[in-house]
Amino acid sequence: MKNFKLPDLGEGLPEAEIVEWHVKVGDTVAVDQVLVSVETAKAIVEVPSPQAGIIARLFGEAGDIIHTGEPLLAYEGEGEDGGTVVGELKKAEPGAREERFFVGAAPSSRRARANRATPGVRALAERLGVSLEQIKGSGPGGLVTNDDVHKHASHQKQLGDSEPLRGTRRTMAKNMALSHAQVVPVSIYEDVDIEGWKKGTDITMRLVRAIASACETAPAMNCWFDGDNLSRRLLDEVHVGIAVDTPDGLFVPVLRDVNHRSLKDLRKGLENLREAVATRKIPPGEMQGATITLSNFGTMTGQYANPIVTPPQVAIVGAGRIRPKVVPYKGEAAIRRILPLSLTFDHRAATGGEASRFLGALVEALGKP
Amino acid sequence: MNTPSGQTVTPPESRAVNNVTLVEAVNMALAWEMEHDENVVLLGEDIATNGGVFRATVGLKERFGYRRVMDTPLAENLIAGTAIGMATQGLRPVAEFQFMGFIYAGMEQMISHAARMRNRTRGRLHCPLVYRAPFGGGIHAPEHHSESTEALFAHVPGLRVVIPSSPQRAYGLLLAAIRNPDPVVFLEPKRIYRAVTQSVADDGEALRLDTCFTLREGEDVTLISWGASILETLQAADKLAEQGVSAEVIDVATISPLDRETLLCSVAKTGRAVIVHEACRNGGVGAEVAASIAEAAFLDLQAPVVRVTGYDTIMPYYRNEQAYLPQVDDIVEAVEQVIAL
């Protein structure tokens, strides 16, 4: 219900007596329709309705005295009850507003705080054409000193300006530092004898398929791990991120659902991804959602590595350069083609045993002709 | 979960409730936490059957029962003290004082007991409780219903003093206050209880305590405020933008302990600070902010730190209350003064 209070009838009088109601409960009234006649000390006044509505209740009958400000009648519908025993609260205009704000300092403010210097040093930097943002202060509390500015200025004179990282290289720098800060990496290494492989075997395809099969043996390695909430998600499908080196930086396109697709289909998929990377036309979505990563640096040089695991993934496989090596074979020294493997995993998410079994399965799958 | 520093907070699409006022956001946060933590109980004058004078607790007695939403006698000392007893024995009470002007009777309990319970008992007992009170002027109320005496509490070690300035922050900060293991004085700026509506995500996500919020990024001057004055401060920033002055606006939010780092970062960038608060000037929290900037950011300053505040007098009645409260033009004038240097 929404109350209508007896208004000040314009004569500054404190009360009025109800003479006659012109409406009853249940009536539908229009704006300005006469509701009631009241008698004040001076005259009989007709009170009009301030709004359209249905009458829900009448307070008082003919002959009753109503004081100014007391409820006279009530309309049906939601009342506006703002509470308060004293005072008046300003009401908002309706309408949904969104608010955006930074928790703590704005990024631009943080940067500014990182470059503290006395006014004299600022003036010096300006004179020498040096930006304080590029200087790490050596004074107390990171204050940039005269010496710092001079040193930087002479460096700059000799070497020219440093090149700020952009795009992929910048992203790589950030992501690598982030994962390095979070992950607890452990690496293990093993060699595979691939002398039995047929000529022309597609190495990357073999590696991708072997990873998929090893994931079935050790599901803990094909997993997304959430270090903040200490939870993990074991995944059925294997999506292999394949590290691709380009002049612009590192790209990791994702070859999806490796364990359920035909070799031909996979090869075509990989070629498409490589092509898209080479022409810089790969959509961001094609580089997300990997469950495990392969770094096939063996196409260049290097045997073993400790590649960086990218959260939420748990493992990364490194494949080194295939080379002939003298190894024991059936009790004799023999020259065989050897593929060196590295496995780095996040020890927060998987045990050494799981990693070792994974590597074992990988070696077994790759060892077949 | 806390939001990492520097991240922009926006309400997600889902669970968003539209047209939420600050006082409704308080109600939403109380309801969420009572629903998810059976130890949360409410007590205060007229909060149960009546729903509170400002309707902050409306509907909660009906939903959670009178054992968890309790009407108390008109005795603030009792409200403050009972909450301490409840808190030390495992409950998480949220006690309402009807107006800040009535809180003083409870201060003996708040300062001499709640604030130092953890210290005094060498960590055996602690007080996870919230003291809520509407504060501030500008609603045509008498003087003892209009004061901003937050500095009294900011001076007391062991009390956290948190002041929301928007529905979104009221929701997130009240949840954080209830979940905090030590006493929080949660002061609600009643002048803006219903003055602004926002879309608020009712998802139980708390904001971080002990941090400022940067509401607006700017280059030329840092405007520092809290509570209802945030509204005038933002309007002043709009006006200044028309004059080509880019103002950063910071909502201090937790006035004790003060997040000095955020303030210093901003002043390092702008070199100028204007502090706006409704409370009287002498010994106000603005003085602490100004002193902190002078101590730690002197070398960054291009101009003296200036305060725009209420006056060192009793809050005037209705007719003169606008003369007492900092107005948009007062803030703009103060900025013009520091920009001129």
- Taken in order of first residue, the domains within chain A and their CATH numbers are 2-75 (2.40.50.100), 116-159 (4.10.320.10), 170-367 (3.30.559.10)
Q: Looking at B138, B169, B201, which one is the last position of a domain?
A: B201
Tokens of A263: 């070799």
Does B3 fall in a domain?
no
Q: In 10 A of CB B332, how many CB atoms?
A: 22
Contact between A103 and B6 using a beta-carbon 8 Å cutoff: yes
Report the pLDDT averaged over residues B120-144: 94
**pLDDT one-digit tens code per residue, B199-242:** 999 999 999 999 999 999 999 999 999 999 999 999 999 999 99
Give CA–CA dist A362/A360, Å, rounded: 5
Give CA–CA dist B234/B245, Å, rounded: 13
Stated length of chain A: 369
Based on the domain organization, do B189 and B223 belong to the same domain? no
User: With pLDDT > 90 as the criterion, what percentage of chain B qualifies?
Assistant: 90
User: With pLDDT > 70 as the criterion, what percentage of chain A qualifies?
Assistant: 96
Nearest Cα neighbor of B42 from B22, B23, B63, B14 is B63
Give CA–CA dist B44/B39, Å, rounded: 17
Between A214 and B14, name the one with better pLDDT: A214
Query: Is the CB of A106 inside 8 Å of chain B's CB atoms?
Result: yes
- The CATH number assigned to the domain holding B23 equals 3.40.50.970
Does B121 fall in a domain?
yes
- Provide φ and ψ at B28, rounded to 5°: -65, -45
Tokens of B178: 């209830």
Based on the domain organization, do B218 and B108 belong to the same domain? no
Between A72 and A324, name the one with better pLDDT: A324
Does B2 fall in a domain?
no
From chain B, pick out residues whose CB is under 8 angstroms from the CB of A85.
53
pLDDT bucket at B2, cuts 50 / 70 / 90: very low
Based on the domain organization, do B173 and B226 belong to the same domain? no
Report the pLDDT averaged over residues A5-20: 79
Please give the pLDDT value at position B4. Answer: 42
DSSP A144: B
Contact between A89 and B193 using a beta-carbon 8 Å cutoff: yes
Q: Is the model's pLDDT at B185 over the cut of 70?
A: yes
Report the pLDDT averaged over residues B308-316: 95
From chain B, pick out residues whose CB is under 8 angstroms from the CB of A99.
10, 166, 168, 198, 215
Please give the pLDDT value at position A6. Answer: 82
Residues facing residue A234 across a β-bridge: A223
Preceding peptide of B257 cis, ω within 30°: yes
Question: Which of B58, B216, B300, B302 to substitute to test the interface with A, most A CBs within 10 Å?
Answer: B300
Does B44 fall in a domain?
yes
Unique residue bearing structure tokens 């240097």? B341
Based on the domain organization, do B195 and B218 belong to the same domain? no
Query: Is the CB of B225 inside 8 Å of chain A's CB atoms?
Result: no
Q: Looking at B180, B201, B222, which one is the last position of a domain?
A: B201
Total number of domains in chain B: 2
Please give the pLDDT value at position A7. Answer: 79
Between A138 and B255, name the one with better pLDDT: B255
Tokens of B232: 């005038």
How remote is the C-alpha of B79 from its chain's centroid? 20
pTM for the structure as a whole: 0.64
Contact between B6 and A88 using a beta-carbon 8 Å cutoff: no
Give CA–CA dist B172/B210, Å, rounded: 13
pLDDT bucket at B127, cuts 50 / 70 / 90: very high
Query: Is the CB of A82 inside 8 Å of chain B's CB atoms?
Result: yes
Between A119 and A266, name the one with better pLDDT: A266
Q: Which chain B residue shows the shortest CA-CA distance from A85?
A: B53
Q: Which chain A residue shows the shortest CA-CA distance from B261?
A: A105
**pLDDT one-digit tens code per residue, B17-70:** 888 999 999 999 999 999 999 999 999 999 999 999 999 999 999 999 999 999
- Reduce the secondary structure of chain B to three states and give it as a string: CCCCCCCEECCCCCCEEEEECHHHHHHHHHHHHHHHCCCEEEEECCCCCCCCCCCCCCCHHHHHCCCCEEECCCCHHHHHHHHHHHHHCCCEEEEECCCHHHHHHHHHHHHHHHCCHHHHCCCCCCCCCEEEEEECCCCCCCHHHCCCCHHHHHCCCCCEEECCCCHHHHHHHHHHHHHCCCCEEEEEEHHHCCCCCEEEECCCCCCCCCCCEEEECCCCEEEEECCCHHHHHHHHHHHHHHCCCCEEEEECCEEECCCHHHHHHHHHHHCCEEEEEEEECCCCHHHHHHHHHHHHHHHHCCCCCEEEEECCCCCCCHHHHHHHCCCHHHHHHHHHHHHCC
Based on the domain organization, do B189 and B78 belong to the same domain? yes
Give CA–CA dist A198/A369, Å, rounded: 7
Based on the domain organization, do B228 and B159 belong to the same domain? no
Please give the pLDDT value at position B258. Answer: 97
pLDDT bucket at B3, cuts 50 / 70 / 90: very low
What residues of B are labeled active site? Answer: 145
Contact between A109 and B265 using a beta-carbon 8 Å cutoff: yes
Query: Is the CB of A98 inside 8 Å of chain B's CB atoms?
Result: yes
Does B252 fall in a domain?
yes
Q: Is the model's pLDDT at A75 over the cut of 90?
A: no
In sequence order, what DSSP letters do the residues of A156-222 get, joined into one string? Answer: HHHH-PPPPP-HHHHHHHHHHHHHHHH--EEEEEEEEE-TTSPTT--HHHHHHHHHHHHHHH-GGGS
Query: Is the CB of B52 inside 8 Å of chain A's CB atoms?
Result: yes
pLDDT bucket at A239, cuts 50 / 70 / 90: very high
This complex has an ipTM of 0.83
Based on the domain organization, do B248 and B196 belong to the same domain? no
From chain B, pick out residues whose CB is under 8 angstroms from the CB of A111.
269
**Among A101-110, A304-313, B243-252, which range has the highest average pLDDT?**
B243-252
Does residue B165 contact residue B228 with C-beta atoms inside 8 Å? yes
Establish, for the pair of chains A and B, how many residue pairs have beta carbons separated by less than 8 Å.
151
Based on the domain organization, do B230 and B257 belong to the same domain? yes
Average pLDDT, chain B: 94
- The CATH number assigned to the domain holding B236 equals 3.40.50.920
Does B8 fall in a domain?
no
Q: In 10 A of CB A256, how many CB atoms?
A: 18
Does B62 fall in a domain?
yes
Give CA–CA dist A156/A72, Å, rounded: 84
Range of the domain at B236: 213-339
pLDDT bucket at A10, cuts 50 / 70 / 90: low
Query: Is the CB of A181 inside 8 Å of chain B's CB atoms?
Result: no
Report the pLDDT averaged over residues A138-147: 86
Does residue B247 contact residue B241 with C-beta atoms inside 8 Å? yes
pLDDT bucket at A61, cuts 50 / 70 / 90: confident
Question: Which of A80, A99, A226 to substitute to test the interface with B, most B CBs within 10 Å?
Answer: A99
Does B300 fall in a domain?
yes
Ranges A166-170, B94-98, B282-286: which has the least confidence:
A166-170
Give CA–CA dist A355/B266, Å, rounded: 48
Please give the pLDDT value at position A135. Answer: 85
Q: Is the model's pLDDT at B288 over the cut of 90?
A: yes
Contact between B21 and A107 using a beta-carbon 8 Å cutoff: no
Please give the pLDDT value at position B5. Answer: 45
- Positive or negative, the CA dihedral B201, B207, B213, B217 is negative
Query: Is the CB of B193 inside 8 Å of chain A's CB atoms?
Result: yes
Please give the pLDDT value at position A79. Answer: 64
Based on the domain organization, do B188 and B226 belong to the same domain? no
**Among A5-14, A52-61, A98-107, B299-308, which range has the highest average pLDDT?**
B299-308
Contact between A96 and B212 using a beta-carbon 8 Å cutoff: no
From chain B, pick out residues whose CB is under 8 angstroms from the CB of A90.
139, 191-192, 194-195
pLDDT bucket at A80, cuts 50 / 70 / 90: low
Average pLDDT, chain A: 88
DSSP A104: B
Please give the pLDDT value at position B155. Answer: 97
From chain A, pick out residues whose CB is under 8 angstroms from the CB of B189.
none
Based on the domain organization, do B117 and B242 belong to the same domain? no
Please give the pLDDT value at position A190. Answer: 96
pLDDT bucket at A95, cuts 50 / 70 / 90: low
Ranges B233-237, B297-301, B304-308: which has the least confidence:
B297-301
- Provide φ and ψ at A209, rounded to 5°: -65, -40
Q: Is the model's pLDDT at B174 over the cut of 80?
A: yes
Between B38 and A72, name the one with better pLDDT: B38
Based on the domain organization, do B231 and B331 belong to the same domain? yes
Based on the domain organization, do B77 and B222 belong to the same domain? no
pLDDT bucket at B6, cuts 50 / 70 / 90: very low
**Would you tell me which residues 262-281 of chain B have a C-beta closer than 8 angstroms to some C-beta of chain A?**
262, 264-266, 268-269
Q: Looking at B201, B236, B262, which one is the last position of a domain?
A: B201
